[in-house]
Structure 1
């Protein structure tokens, strides 16, 4: 349990310099997404608990925070604990991602939206994770989604816009690993797994980079999967390719590492996607990864993740989820999305130092009349500068060091002789 003076576990405070860094990155991402024709929306931080536990969120549903109904008493709680049905005490829950709320949003406002809707959502989400490095209980997601476009144009636009955002952030050496759920399903069918087992088998395959092929086989055999050994043999052959970052997105390269009988349409679609994306920024590479799963159960086609050598985990991901919105409307609506893992990306970027050029600290003498001090400050603000007032003390160096750490680029002394902004002797910090 957190002490009264620290944030709850898995949640963080941000000092001004950290907050400025985050806002810089968020601004870059927003502008990049908007330049590609996406419109920003906002949804509530809570949704009906029935929606959050409707099977759309996969394993993340188990990590959702519930909000207790109003008016409950001790007997209600005791009864729910005894029956093991704590969920019955909640009617709302904090969102655990932005995709499920988007599906509800689209179902609510479909008549007011264009036939093909391009959405931006940048907001915090909450999961009852076990806190560890790079994994928090409250974190920001930066999502773009395209609803209503059944063709590859959706994937092309999503990947192009995301790659542009990464490039604008100055993040180089990114690899977008791509797979298709149809290829994965064909692989499981080839191995002889019953379709009912596919979701659990995919969860085990998703751990390949952590536990290896032998670990995947052991986990599946422990659950009584008779086809685990066949899958293990295939995964052992694929591991070297995965370790090398995958293979080229061509029919020859893909079919060359997979068993016969994979979904040829899905393979051809991946090659077509690669051709359409041949003009991505130089810092972004596309590769086929046959073991890429993406943990969410709602994906139906192309899936993708961003890998970066500076991070031990993916820094973004997404895919096509054509069946989700139909759960609300009764008819399928094509949809695809891409999410940048903001908390991991923001630790990898450098904030341009030029952003401090228009910020100034005025170190003022206590004898300066307030009206004159504020007039000088207002004049600088009107010229486009960011201005902070600091009372002069004996240790001026400490004031200036603190100002520089806070992102200010210049300072000036305000004395009783100062008449206006033009009379200031402005000097650079650092």
Structure 2
């Protein structure tokens, strides 16, 4: 049974624990065996929380035996991106600026997860201070992509994705400010869910841009994403049964800013779009200048807030940072307060306009990433290549962040290619049900 543990979903592991077919300690031991035997694990995990994890697994076992499980995922081991405060464990957010930082309490969302019985297996590497979509971090660790060990995993939740893809955790908890859950999930053939901003607490989460930062899971299935989301918002599990695409209307969002796409991502996206049509979905395309206008504001909005958050630490020790990320932060100095407030007002207006224009659709579609994961060494040695690839890695995903829409990426069956399903603000339940129907359609296509 243990040889099959790492291939099971979080939901399946939870059910096996409930039936007492699996001991939570046995599950944990198998994940640690994989971690200890794989040489890339040190590039995926910053810290392994073994003592805490085995204590939590023991408690989960006792609850299972007494019929007092706390949630459907009670006893399931998951990883946490290294920006979630973890009591008495290093939490450095991928930056030497925070070297040696040991929080005195867990992040609120980690507390909620622990109270639901989830087991914290360890902390995962990430882009420095979460400010890159590539996952390249020469200062602390760069996780590899499951499909190409010479390529980056995607960022900023790079280790979160790799921990699941390499069979080292049942799910990984990341964060998403411009695509940092969905890009690495896409490149590692996982499900990645960015809920609506504000749905899940950011208390105790090291910030990048608090106005956009979002907590979310990277996992193997929509059901896993839904269960984790329900756990974090402390609600009953969402009913994902009886989902259908028949008669559902999807809009492929188009603009000059999201027009660029390379061959493999285009093929994978178009393959699934045709499958959705076969399942009865109604799919149309429309060009929206509001997307271009919003994306033109991104540099000001992200860099000003990011620099404002980290100004003192960066100015005190600029040389300890990875230069491309440091320079993105410093770009925030080039804008005035009036520039930022003007951009924010314009974005709010664009949100109202685009929401009104798209109100009649069930959901939207985009290729998750228009590129495949780039080569690690070339990113390190070619600054222009780094800049271009980082821009394209977040090109499509930032749309959802800027318009405050929930979004979920699904693997298409083409390696490192994902399709994103998007809904309007706070339509997270609708999104998860639509995504389940799309996942079912993809499974039919793959069978």
TM-score by shorter chain over 0.5: no
Return the index of the structure with the highest Cα Rg: 1
Higher helix share: 2
The TM-score normalised by the length of structure 2 is: 0.26
Higher strand share: 1
